[in-house]
């Protein structure tokens, strides 16, 4: 077993940690269903071609970070690095025109071969939301507000929304011509990484982290100045609507995002409470993707939230496990089978019921119930088995039962059992 370890950048999650994940996921699902967004599930494994065409060959994700391999049929497969391309593929394949307006969400693992650090893993999880067929500025606003409110609902502090517009294909190609000219002239002042990007993905140079290059870029042509009047007005409208809703934003003209499919609105939400991997949510409009992938002309916009980063940010109160409602202490052949039967009955009441399977002494089982801070206990031993009745009592945490709240109930008397549960466990 010496060498059997998990792969770098992947993690095991144990029950104590998963309490927080489950609580966060529960809140996320509630929020999504309240906004009438429906779930979609696509395969984790896709044809490599999907991501090359969908995300763009020159992006870091496709050129450096994908988990790609040949399967036994010599087909090139890739573990999905994100969800948008898969959703687009699934919709095209399923005949998008029969249902052109859709609001969808997905949640699950994604894979990118990045350098692992706090908040950055090779297998990580995203909640993604995609509004398909929506082209109004209002849909951009709804998407941004949805992401903002989800993070707010989880009590996440120090949030910053950054927005930008990438214009349409035409705007961008006009800008690119002039930007490329400028890059060639100023090539020597750029860092090496940015120099390498000139031929591969020049737009990405704009969000370099290199301070010297950042400074030089201040004099570069701006995409913003190449926007058509229509694109420009669209952007102004977006800002106006965000202001009406009092969603604070900062404009960041260098926000270009790491995937090639974006048009018009691009946005990111960061939190000051995270370290260097501060972006908890990223998204934007992708009006050309579905057409580019062989579907009908279908505008769309979406975002994805990184769940590991969300968990790092979510409050401590979400780490608290739900208390056991009833702990069933039992010992003896007949007693144990009666206890099993009773536990099945009790679980129909939306109660958290733990059946002790240890066969240990009563006092050990009492100690376990105490440790779990169970709200109540049932004891079933040989006497109870012979008499056909058990005692259920509230547990006062000191290890003793509370005499006032105890009741002797026959195994057959479901009405008495239900009354006791209603009066003692289900009352708020
Ligand atoms: P993205 O910006 O590449 O966008 O990823 C979205 C979020 O996933 C990031 O903001 C971050 O929180 C999380 N994330 C990304 N990589 C890692 C990693 N290695 N470890 C941990 N968390 C990570 C997309 O994926 C687009 N599909 C979003 C989108 C949906 N745009 C339109 N629709």
Residue nearest (by alpha carbon) to ligand 1 atom 25 = 82
How many A from CA of 112 to the centre of ligand 1? 10
Beta bridge pairs of residue 283: 267, 303
Nearest-atom index, ligand 1, CA of 120 = 20
At 224 the three-state DSSP class reads helix
Tell me how far the alpha carbon of residue 81 lies from the centroid of ligand 1, in angstroms: 9
* Axis crossing angle, helix 84-93 with helix 48-55, rounded to the nearest 10: 110
Q: Are 232 and 259 in contact (CB under 8 A)?
A: no
Closest C-alpha residue for ligand 1 atom 16: 120
Torsion angle, CA of 284/288/289/292, rounded to 10 degrees?
-170
- 111: helix, coil or strand? strand
Go through the domains of the chain in sequence order and give each one's CATH number.
15-168+228-313 (3.30.930.10), 170-224 (no CATH), 324-424 (3.40.50.800)
Which pLDDT belongs to residue 103? 98
pLDDT in tens, the chain (428 residues): 678 999 999 999 999 999 999 999 999 999 999 999 999 999 999 999 999 999 999 899 999 999 999 999 999 999 999 999 999 999 999 999 888 899 999 999 999 999 999 999 999 999 999 999 999 999 999 999 999 999 999 999 899 999 999 999 999 999 999 999 999 999 999 999 999 999 888 988 998 889 999 999 999 999 999 999 999 999 999 999 999 999 999 999 999 999 999 999 999 999 998 887 789 999 999 999 999 999 999 999 999 999 999 999 998 899 999 899 999 999 999 999 999 999 999 999 989 999 999 999 999 999 999 999 999 999 999 999 999 999 999 987 554 545 557 899 999 999 999 999 999 998 76
Q: Which residues line ligand 1 (CB under 6 A)?
A: 82-84, 112, 114, 119-121, 124, 126, 128, 130, 258-259, 279-284, 286, 302-304, 306, 308-309
Instruction: Determine the pLDDT at residue 396.
Output: 72
Per-residue three-class SS string for 14-37: CHHHHHHHHHHHHHHHHHHHHCCC
Best residue for ligand 1 mutational test, from 113, 122, 125, 126 (most atoms within 8 Å of Cβ) = 126
């Amino acid at each position: 077993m010496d060498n059997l370890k998990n792969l770098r950048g992947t993690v095991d999650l144990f029950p104590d940690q998963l309490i927080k994940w489950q609580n966060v996921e529960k809140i996320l699902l509630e929020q999504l269903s309240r906004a009438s967004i429906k779930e979609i599930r696509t395969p984790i494994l896709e044809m490599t071609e999907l991501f090359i065409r969908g995300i763009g060959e020159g992006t870091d994700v496709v050129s450096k970070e994908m988990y790609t391999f040949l399967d036994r049929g010599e087909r090139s497969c890739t573990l999905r690095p994100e969800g948008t391309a898969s959703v687009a593929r699934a919709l095209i394949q399923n005949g998008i025109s029969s249902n052109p307006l859709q609001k969808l969400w997905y949640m699950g693992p994604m894979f990118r071969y990045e350098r692992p650090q706090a908040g950055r893993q090779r297998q990580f999880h995203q909640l993604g939301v995609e509004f398909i067929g929506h082209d109004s500025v209002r849909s951009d606003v709804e998407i941004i507000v949805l992401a903002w409110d989800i993070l707010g609902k989880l009590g996440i502090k120090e949030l910053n929304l950054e927005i930008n517009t990438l214009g349409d294909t035409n705007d961008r190609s006009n800008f690119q011509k002039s930007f490329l000219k400028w890059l060639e002239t100023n090539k020597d002042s750029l860092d090496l990484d940015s120099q390498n990007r000139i031929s591969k993905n020049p737009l990405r140079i704009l969000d370099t982290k290199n301070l010297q290059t950042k400074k030089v870029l201040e004099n570069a042509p701006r995409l913003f100045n190449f926007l058509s009047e229509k694109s420009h007005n669209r952007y102004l409208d977006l800002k106006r609507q965000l202001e009406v809703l009092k969603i604070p934003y900062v404009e960041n003209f260098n926000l270009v995002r790491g995937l090639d499919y974006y048009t018009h609105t691009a946005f990111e939400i960061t939190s000051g409470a995270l370290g260097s991997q501060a972006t908890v949510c990223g998204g934007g409009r992708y009006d050309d993707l579905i057409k580019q992938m062989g579907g009908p002309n279908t505008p769309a916009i979406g975002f994805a939230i990184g769940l590991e980063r969300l968990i790092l940010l979510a409050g401590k109160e979400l780490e608290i496990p739900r208390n056991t409602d009833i702990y069933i202490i039992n010992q003896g052949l007949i007693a144990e089978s009666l206890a099993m039967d009773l536990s099945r009955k009790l679980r129909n009441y939306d109660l958290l019921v733990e059946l002790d399977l240890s066969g240990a002494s009563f006092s050990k089982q009492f100690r376990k119930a105490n440790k779990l801070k169970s709200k109540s206990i049932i004891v079933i031993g040989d006497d109870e088995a012979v008499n056909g009745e058990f005692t259920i009592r509230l547990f006062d945490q000191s290890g003793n039962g509370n005499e006032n709240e105890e009741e002797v109930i026959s195994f057959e008397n479901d009405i008495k059992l239900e009354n006791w549960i209603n009066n003692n466990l289900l009352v708020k």
